[in-house]
Amino acid sequence: MDTSVTLPMWLFLLLALFAAVMVLDRFLLPGVRWYMRRRVNRIIEEINTRLDIEIRPFQLTRKQALIDQLLFDDKVISETRQYASEHNMPTEVAQARAAKYANEIVPAFNAYVYFRLGYWLARKIGRLMYRIRVGFFDNDQLKNIPQGSSVVFVINHRSNMDYVLVSFLVAEKTALSYAVGEWARIWPLQTLIRSMGAFFVRRNSQNPLYRCVLERYVHLATRAGVCQAVFLEGGLTHDGMLREPRLGFLDYMLRDYHLAIDRDVVFVPVGINYDRVIEDKSLMRKLDTNASKRSMWFIIRTSMTFFIKTVFMNRRKRWRRFGYASVNFGQPISAKAYCEKFDIDFSQMETETRFLQMEKLANELRAKIASVVPVLPVALMAETILTDATRRRSELELKSAATGRITELKSQGAPITISSRACEAVLGNALKMLVGRGFVDVDDNGYYVRPAATDMLRYYANSIAHWQQE
């Protein structure tokens, strides 16, 4: 008697696929997860032995657990109910929207990706393009930050390369958590950025529910001691000058700060400057209200062309084109010491009074940042040329004027590290960079500014313009 059963080929393949998935799920994947978890834990233990600021347990908490913690936060629950009432929607719908915002904001930090892949990429990209210089103007106070403090690096924002440089330079000290704009929410970049502990922020969002979820995440991360990096200006500078500080993130961190029971929040001012900002022309273009918006295809094509040309450029030529990138660390400001000094309790203040006090703190941080923004050769030479832009001057005249300006800046306490022995060669290279980029031209009568390039020269000179006001 024939007992065989005939199955269609499609059904057989479906059953085989289902069986393979079950084998993977029940037998292979648990072993792989155990192996990877063990490997990551070993890396975390190894890294924590050499970091000045350890990776906090909050950063290692599973993403879903952090989302749940946010959604069950008293303030988020209250705001969710109010949002549902104002928009005439069921509470469940408002809760789902809050969950969507929380999922969008909360990172999925992976120590292996951060320290093995992210650090390697940041170092390679930074050194590929610039001669990197680091300075400390903190009178050794960084070393004396108490263990357990929440450290916040407060940075000026000149380029999207800021993320790369600071992450690379502080990777031997801690793992940073960044607030990243919506520009980075593209696949697969957003997965990598989340893995490195960054969280996405919708700039200028007026949605009260979204702002509440974001505020509570920043508050929880700060209370947990997560080391964060914040751009005080809130966005890139378009004219090269320091912008007015934005108070949002400072307020999120300190509005519920209790001096007696919360850990100290220590703000570390960081000044960044470049001999060449990669996106300088795009940033300047945003000042032109009549300029048409670039298409996505144009941006992708231009970026890829720039990247390929940079990779295949020899090191000497590349460094002569991009010059120095410099990062300086200034004197930290302790929130606890600040509150004690001025008898301030942010948690007990009304909104208007709190923002007035927050503005004073932000302005002090801005001044600290300005005092450590590096004075670089291109900015110095751009400023020198613009002092008498209508007259042609020889290379010797320009170098002499720039050398005199260096002496003046040093007497003001400006962070300038151009040594006297290398001064002539460094200034000469800066002048060649300006000529090479078409900002300055030269003939038998000397160097002169190209009329169409005046704004670009002013953009670079503006990075040190705050020293002219003293």
Together in a domain, 64 and 124 = yes
Together in a domain, 399 and 447 = yes
Together in a domain, 43 and 172 = yes
**Model pLDDT, residue 54:** 74
Together in a domain, 220 and 268 = yes
User: Quick check: is 295 in a domain?
Assistant: yes
**Model pLDDT, residue 35:** 57
Together in a domain, 34 and 145 = yes
Together in a domain, 75 and 169 = yes
Can you state the angle between helices 454-461 and 377-386, rounded to 10 degrees?
130
Backbone φ, ψ for residue 130 (5° rounding): -130, 160
Q: Across all residues in the chain, what is the average pLDDT?
A: 83
User: Quick check: is 2 in a domain?
Assistant: no
For 420, the 3-state DSSP assignment is coil
Together in a domain, 62 and 84 = yes
**Model pLDDT, residue 312:** 66
Together in a domain, 285 and 269 = no
Query: pLDDT digit string (tens) for 6-20?
Result: 767 777 788 788 777
Q: CB–CB of 272/165 below 8 Å?
A: yes
Together in a domain, 192 and 230 = yes
Together in a domain, 218 and 298 = no
pLDDT at 452 over 80: yes
User: How many domains in the chain?
Assistant: 3
User: Quick check: is 17 in a domain?
Assistant: no
**Model pLDDT, residue 390:** 83
User: Quick check: is 35 in a domain?
Assistant: yes
User: Quick check: is 3 in a domain?
Assistant: no
Kindly report the CATH number assigned to the domain that includes residue 166. 3.40.1130
Mention every residue, 6+ apart, whose C-beta is less than 8 A from residue 331.
137, 138, 139, 141, 269, 368
- Please report the DSSP string for 253-269 in residue order: HHTT--TTTSPPEEEEE
Query: pLDDT digit string (tens) for 218-253?
Result: 999 999 988 888 999 988 899 999 999 999 899 999
Segment among 70-79, 107-116, 339-348 with least mean pLDDT: 107-116
- Average pLDDT on 100-128 reads 82
Can you give the pTM of this predicted structure?
0.84
Query: pLDDT digit string (tens) for 356-386?
Result: 999 999 999 999 999 999 999 999 999 999 9
**Model pLDDT, residue 63:** 87
User: Quick check: is 229 in a domain?
Assistant: yes
Strands 333-334 and 440-443, how do they pair? Answer: unpaired
Domain that holds residue 316: 278-322
**Model pLDDT, residue 296:** 63
Neighbour count for residue 9 (Cβ, 10 Å): 7
User: Quick check: is 10 in a domain?
Assistant: no
User: Quick check: is 18 in a domain?
Assistant: no
| % of the chain at pLDDT higher than 90 | 42
Greater model confidence, 44 or 247 = 247
Together in a domain, 339 and 235 = yes
Together in a domain, 112 and 171 = yes
Per-residue pLDDT band at 172 (split at 50, 70, 90) = low
